[in-house]
Homo-oligomer: A and B are copies of this chain.
């Protein structure tokens, strides 16, 4: 069991309050740091007619993992940029028949530096993030999302 710290609890409340469908998904923020974001969702509210997780729920949880990581990385800036998703591609690899997690591991430093440099210089930057959705210890889906941050 992962004991969630105050940062995780605060972010979970923020998501539930501001993106209410995250509450319907049963989303929990287990880890939210610069090195790793790990979200979880129970199967029950996300079930489909085949008793596996609905693809749309999987995509939603994976998208939130990307957004949460960027939020963690950018919130120390003097003015919080607006973060939006521009496009994403998801591959569904295995049926999900249990509770699942979505894990973001950061992109390489160089890609992140280019993103920040573009945000500072041009007022916007784009960054590709990869999220793995895990069920029963196996990668059941991968999402590659292109996120855009816009200075406000």
Q: Is the interface of A mostly helix, strand, loop or mixed?
A: mixed
Q: How many residues of A contact B (CB 8 A)?
A: 33
Bound complex: CA A14 to CA B49 (Å): 9
A5 to B: closest C-beta gap in Å = 21
In the complex, A63 has a CB within 8 A of chain B: yes
The stretch from A29-37, A50-58, A107-115, A118-126 touching chain B is A50-58
A127 to chain B, nearest CB (A): 15
A-side residues, CB < 8 A to B, are 14, 18-21, 24-25, 45-50, 54-57, 59-61, 63-64, 82, 84-92, 95
Give the 4 A-B residue pairs with the shortest CB-CB distance, closest first: A56-B60, A24-B24, A18-B49, A56-B63
